[in-house]
């Protein structure tokens, strides 16, 4: 049985909890508390004498963030979901003539910063011009047994902000309390997702759900997480992509489907990768990748404006514009531009030699497609700060993509690069079941060479294609990376409420 080691402050707070119990005060009451307004609403709408009667009976609840002790009267700051507001508490307003316990014992000695309280009273303006609540009643709603990290504020500015990533990501609940800008990031994330959903819904797309547990980890070149289904006694995989299931729905007769998909890849972690992440994928019948580029520009410009009010964002010293249209360049031209090598007619041996000349690691297990991908990722990707479509990939890199209608050896695919990273990946989808089977078989050969990111053969998906899939275009957006861009964050951990971390050692 583990023993909880308590700090001095944690011991003191537990002693205060015991004192509250002795006084017959429930520190964790279950009763409904009649909140009728918020801190933000009061500060925005209160106009002093002009409308004070509208704020004569307010009831607000939240967490105590600071207290200024002035003897028989105190000023304190309460924080609710919308922000902070000051309140004024005076002994004579909350106590009877004969019993001063509520103020002298409970408020002064047993209430701590971090506790949740409810307050009732009227709004007024202090001599320094600050909108505040003069309270006539307060109720303890929840006792905090662990003290908050100390953050200082002066004149609306935050000082000594808690910046330790280990603390912030592991204890996001505390990070949200003490770092006011964090909540804004996640509020913008919701605005962003809602804007995308509205864009698609208004154009007739249907939101769907597909399996997270899959018998075949298909739809992408990535290493899966494995598990076991006890009842069926079969291995299962956490999905690496939802692509093949969404295309099954196109086969079934839906013409535009989308899903915000939680995906899992058993790979590295860094500033732009988390093993669990969110992707938006949508597939549209009777469209191609040229249409998809036009639609992507419209979607992202609309989403940027809905999220931030403007189509531009600032990240560090860079200003990025989401206003359409975006630059377009083929992958081979991008490699030639940034390395000086034209690899468009080279075989695998020739490309390996280029890797050697460029001092790029070229694993013996890798095929031609993986080598080209490594060259682009190492030498080209980081140059594309403004939104740029990289188009027309080699067929070896794209086992699910339709061959280019006019360029032999290429496929109709693009990736959208922004701020030096891939944000979206799209195809004119391969719908020839015989060719798709051949592409899958080539992936198996790569797997036999040791490529642990090569695709499995999904026989059920091939069966679906044999029933016939119309010409289709599909795309996948990295929602976390897009959120990083639209909120000006440089780390994926800053746009995930609970990013993956090494298990904590607790004594």
pLDDT the model gives residue 1: 47
pLDDT at site 161: 66
Query: Across-strand partners of 153?
Result: 158
DSSP 205-247: -EE----SEESS--SSSSPPPEEEETTTTEEEEE-S--HHHHH
Q: Is 50 annotated as a binding residue?
A: no
Which part of the chain is CATH 3.30.930.10? 182-326+386-495
**What mean pLDDT value characterizes the chain?**
93
DSSP per position, 419-460: TTEEEEEEEEBP--HHHHHHHHHHHHHHHHTT-TTSPPP-HH
Which pair of structure tokens corresponds to residue 479? 């929602």
pLDDT of residue 156: 56
CATH architecture of 8-148: Beta Barrel (2.40)
pLDDT in tens, 77-127: 999 999 999 999 999 999 988 889 999 999 999 999 999 999 999 999 999
Distance CA 89, CA 142 (A): 19
Instruction: Dihedral sign for Cα 283, 289, 290, 294, please.
Output: positive
What pLDDT score was predicted for residue 443?
84
Gap between the Cα atoms of 95 and 124, Å rounded: 21
DSSP 259: E
Rounded Cα–Cα distance for residues 183 and 487 (Å): 11
> Using CA atoms, how far apart are residues 198 and 194, in angstroms rounded to an integer?
6
pLDDT at 247: 96
In the chain, CATH 2.40.50.140 sits at 8-148
Beta carbons within 8 Å of 4's beta carbon, 6+ residues apart: none
Closest by CA to 222, choosing from 182, 264, 180, 189, is: 264
pLDDT-flagged residues of the chain (< 70): 1-3, 151-161, 506-507
Nearest to 458 by CA among 197, 156, 248: 248
Q: Which two tokens stand for residue 330?
A: 């083929």
What is the per-residue pLDDT across 114-167, written as a single tens digit (0 to 9) for each? 999 999 999 999 999 999 999 999 999 999 999 998 766 655 555 456 888 889
Residue 422 known to bind ligand = yes
**At 67, which helix (H) or strand (E)?**
strand 58-69
Which CATH topology does 182-326+386-495 take? BirA Bifunctional Protein; domain 2 (3.30.930)
Q: What is the Cα 230 distance to its own chain's centre?
A: 32
- The CA distance from 248 to 238, in Å, is 19
Tokens of 23: 């006084």
The pLDDT score that the predictor gives to residue 449 is 81
The rounded distance, in Å, linking the Cα atoms of 119 and 133 is: 9
The set of residues, in sequence order, having a beta carbon less than 8 Å from that of 305 and lying 6+ positions away, is 311
Query: Contact at 8 Å (CB) between 474 and 426?
Result: yes
Cα separation, 155 vs 69, in Å, equals 19
**Contact at 8 Å (CB) between 104 and 40?**
no
Supply the pTM of this predicted model. Answer: 0.90
């Amino acid at each position: 049985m583990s023993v909880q080691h308590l700090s001095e402050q944690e011991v003191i707070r537990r002693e205060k909890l015991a004192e509250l119990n002795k006084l017959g005060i429930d520190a964790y009451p279950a009763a409904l508390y009649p909140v009728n307004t918020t801190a933000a609403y009061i500060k925005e709408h209160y106009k002093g004498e002009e409308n004070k009667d509208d704020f004569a009976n307010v009831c607000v609840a939240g967490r105590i963030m600071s207290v200024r002790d002035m003897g028989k009267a105190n000023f304190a700051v309460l924080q609710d979901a919308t922000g902070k507001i000051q309140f004024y508490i005076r002994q004579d307003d909350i106590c009877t003539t004969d019993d001063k316990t509520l103020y002298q014992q409970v408020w002064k000695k047993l209430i701590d910063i971090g506790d949740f309280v409810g307050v009732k009273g009227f709004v007024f303006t202090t001599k320094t011009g600050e909108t505040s609540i003069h309270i006539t009643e307060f109720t303890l709603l929840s006792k905090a047994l662990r003290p908050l990290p100390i953050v200082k504020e002066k004149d609306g500015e935050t000082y000594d902000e808690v910046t330790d990533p280990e603390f912030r990501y592991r204890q996001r609940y505390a990070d949200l309390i003490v770092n006011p800008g964090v909540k804004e990031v996640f509020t913008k994330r919701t605005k962003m997702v809602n804007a995308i959903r509205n864009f698609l819904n208004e154009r007739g797309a249907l939101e769907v759900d597909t399996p997270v547990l899959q018998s075949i980890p298909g739809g992408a070149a990535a290493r899966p997480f494995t598990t076991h289904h006890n009842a069926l006694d079969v291995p299962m995989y956490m999905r690496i992509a939802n692509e093949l299931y969404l295309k099954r729905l196109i086969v079934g007769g839906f013409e535009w489907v989308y899903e915000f998909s939680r995906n899992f890849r058993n790979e590295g972690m860094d500033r732009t990768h988390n093993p669990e992440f969110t992707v938006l994928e949508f597939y549209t019948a009777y469209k191609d990748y040229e249409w998809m580029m036009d639609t992507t520009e419209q979607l992202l410009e609309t989403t940027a404006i809905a999220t931030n009010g403007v189509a531009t964002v600032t990240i560090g010293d860079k200003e990025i514009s989401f206003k359409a249209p975006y630059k377009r360049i083929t992958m081979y031209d991008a490699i030639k531009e940034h390395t000086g090598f034209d690899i468009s007619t080279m075989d695998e041996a020739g490309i390996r030699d280029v890797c050697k000349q460029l001092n790029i690691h070229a694993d013996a297990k890798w095929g031609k497609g993986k080598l080209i991908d490594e060259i682009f990722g190492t030498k080209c990707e980081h140059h594309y700060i403004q939104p740029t479509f990289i188009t027309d990939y080699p067929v070896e890199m794209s086992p699910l993509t339709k061959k280019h209608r006019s360029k032999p050896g290429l496929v109709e695919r693009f990736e959208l690069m922004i701020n030096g990273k891939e944000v979206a990946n799209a195809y004119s989808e391969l719908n020839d079941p015989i060719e798709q089977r051949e592409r899958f078989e080539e992936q198996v050969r790569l797997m036999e060479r040791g490529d642990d990111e090569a695709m499995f053969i999904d026989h059920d998906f091939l069966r679906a294609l044999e029933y016939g899939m119309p010409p289709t275009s599909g795309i996948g957006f990295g929602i976390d990376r897009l959120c990083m861009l639209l909120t000006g964050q440089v780390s994926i951990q800053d746009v995930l409420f609970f990013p993956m971390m090494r298990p904590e050692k607790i004594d």
